[in-house]
Amino acid sequence: MISTSASTVPARRLVRDALLDAAAVLLPVRCAGCSVPDRSICSACLRSLVPQERSRTVAGVTVCSGLDYDDVPRAVLLSFKDAGRVDAAPALASALRSAVVAASAGEQVVPVLIPSTRSAWRRRGYHPTGMILSRSRVLVPPLWRALRLTRQTSDQAGLSSSEREHNREGSVVASARVAGRRCLLVDDIVTTGATLAEATRAITAAGGVVVGAATIAQTPRRR
């Protein structure tokens, strides 16, 4: 005889699902990763956001990341950055935290955020990586606003790597507060590294040392 699903599903799970469904009615959301109409981030997508440390050297800087910029992490990061899904911040914060811990290698390095352009600020009203960083409970407090754009660069998306390099060249200046400090660059994702190279140049010029970089995700190596 075939039993009904209700009798095979544990009661506790039914209650939990009912509560979550009730919450979803009050605050209708879709999963920021796969868009199932339901919770902020569904349990399957949360599993894809469990940090797995990876590192590579880009533009002479060792970059540690918590996730591959692909599939679910990519979808969640894009919803967070461009669709106002700030509810995804805690899930992304653990990936950044793990990247910062790996990149610091037990050393007391001060996190320094890559600045965003004024147009990005206006569009979003917040600095996405800054919001994640402030929630990632890193050991050494970040040196907020240590880097500043001296001119507004065009959006990096859609530019070739040499165009990106040219776009960023001489565009960042570091505060005198970085002098004599060992700094860890923090950004959302790493692509060509033109931004990292420019930030490193600026920090070095101001008397600081860049020991590496930490990002939430990095583009996966070609399989």
We find the least distance from the C-beta atom of residue 66 to Zn ion, in angstroms, to be: 18
Quickly tell me which residue has 């919450």 as its tokens: 23
We find the least distance from the C-beta atom of residue 31 to Zn ion, in angstroms, to be: 3
Nearer to Zn ion, 61 or 217 (CB): 217
Nearer to Zn ion, 34 or 149 (CB): 34
Number of residues that bind Zn ion (CB under 5 A): 5
Closest listed residue to residue 76, CA positions, set 48, 110, 111: 48
Is 88 buried (19+), middle (13-18) or exposed (0-12) by CB count in 10 A? buried
Nearer to Zn ion, 92 or 184 (CB): 92
Neighbours of 134 (CB within 10 A): 16
Nearer to Zn ion, 46 or 149 (CB): 46
Site for Zn ion in 13-52 (CB under 5 A): 31, 33-34, 42, 45
The answer to whether the beta carbons of residues 73 and 95 sit under 8 Å apart is yes
Nearer to Zn ion, 66 or 73 (CB): 73
We find the least distance from the C-beta atom of residue 8 to Zn ion, in angstroms, to be: 24
Site for Zn ion in 73-92 (CB under 5 A): none
Please measure the distance between the N-terminal and C-terminal CA atoms of the chain and give it in whole angstroms.
Answer: 48
- Which residues, at least 6 apart from 171, have a Cβ–Cβ distance to it below 8 Å? 149, 150, 151, 153, 198
Quickly tell me which residue has 């800087």 as its tokens: 61
We find the least distance from the C-beta atom of residue 5 to Zn ion, in angstroms, to be: 22
Site for Zn ion in 178-197 (CB under 5 A): none
Task: Kindly list the residues in this chain that would bind Zn ion in the complex (CB under 5 A).
Answer: 31, 33-34, 42, 45
